[in-house]
Amino acid sequence: MPAIIFDCDGVLADTERFGHLIAFNQTFREFNLPVQWSEADYAIKLRIAGGKERMASLLTTEFVNKANLPLNPSAQKELISNWHQRKTDIYMKMVSEGKLPGRPGIVRLIDEAITAGWKLAVASTSAEQSVRAVLENVAGENRAAQFEILAGDIVSRKKPAADIYLLALKQLKVAANQALVIEDSRNGLLAAVSAGLRCLITRSSYTKEEDMSEAILVVSDLGEGKVPMQVLENRSRARPGDFLTLKDLEACLFS
C-alpha cells in the first residue's frame, strides 16, 4: 500500500513564523539572554535543522561571555536542553490555544488518503511532543491516530541527511518507490531525495525563494475551498486543478 510522509513545520501548519520564532524569542527573554531573532535572522537559522541545534548556534565565545554562561561543554548542553524544553512548553501552549491553524488542503488530503487505505507518517526534526500536538490540533485525534510519528532526536543526523526518511520507510514497511514525501524546505527536499524518495513541495512563508529543482511538483499549498492553489513547478504526470488530490499524488509517485 502506498504511503505519504509529511513534514510538520510549514507543511501541516505555517508554524515557523507564527509559532517557533515567537516561542524562541519568549524563551530568550525569560532566560535573560541577550538575543531576539528577527524574521530575517530566523530565516537564516532555519538552515540549521532542529531547535536545540539552532539554540546551540548562539554559543559563540562573544555570546557566552556577554550572557555570562558556563564554558564547560556539558554545562552548556544542559542549558540548551533547559532552554529548549521551555521553548517547547511555550510553543505547545500556542498550539493548544489554536493559534496555528492547518495549511489549506491538509485535512482534505489526509481524509482522502485514509479512505483509500494509504499509510501515513510525519517525519520532522521538531520535538516529538510538539509534532504530535500540531498534528492532533490540525487533523484531530482520530486522524492523528492513523499516523506513524518520527520526530526530534529519533535519529542522530537531521535533515538534510536522509536518516529520518530511511527510518520512516522502515517503520511504515514500504519501499522508497511506494512513498511520497510532502515537504516545504530545501533541507527536507534534500533529505527525501537522498533517501531515494520523490518529494512534493508546498512552499511556506520562509521557503518561497529556495531552490526546489529536485522536487517532482512544487505548489503554493494543497488548495482548499474558494482559494485555489498555484502550480509553481511540475515535473510529474499530474495535471492538478485548483487543489491537489490523491489522484495527483499517485501521478507524482508512479509517473
Q: What is the pLDDT along the chain (255 residues), one digit of tens a residue?
A: 999 999 998 999 988 888 999 999 999 999 999 999 999 999 999 888 888 999 999 999 999 999 999 999 999 999 999 999 999 999 989 988 888 889 999 999 999 999 999 999 999 988 898 899 999 999 999 999 999 999 988 998 999 999 999 999 999 999 999 999 999 999 999 999 999 999 999 998 888 889 999 999 999 999 998 889 999 999 999 999 999 999 999 999 987
CB atoms within 10 A of CB 18: 14
Catalytic status, residue 14: no
Domain 3-14+100-254, second-level architecture = 3-Layer(aba) Sandwich (3.40)
- Choose the catalytic residue: 7, 184, 221, 248: 7
Tell me the CATH number for domain 16-96: 1.10.150.240
Catalytic status, residue 41: no
| Cross-strand bridge partners of residue 233 | 218
- Residue 120 is predicted with a pLDDT of 98
- Residue 205 is predicted with a pLDDT of 83
- Choose the catalytic residue: 9, 14, 221, 248: 9
Per-residue burial over 125-151, b if 16 or more Cβ lie within 10 Å, else e, is bbbbbbbbbbbbbbbeeebbeebbbbb
- Residue 99 is predicted with a pLDDT of 86
Sketch the domain layout of the chain as residue ranges.
3-14+100-254, 16-96
- Residue 160 is predicted with a pLDDT of 93
Q: pTM (2 decimals)?
A: 0.86
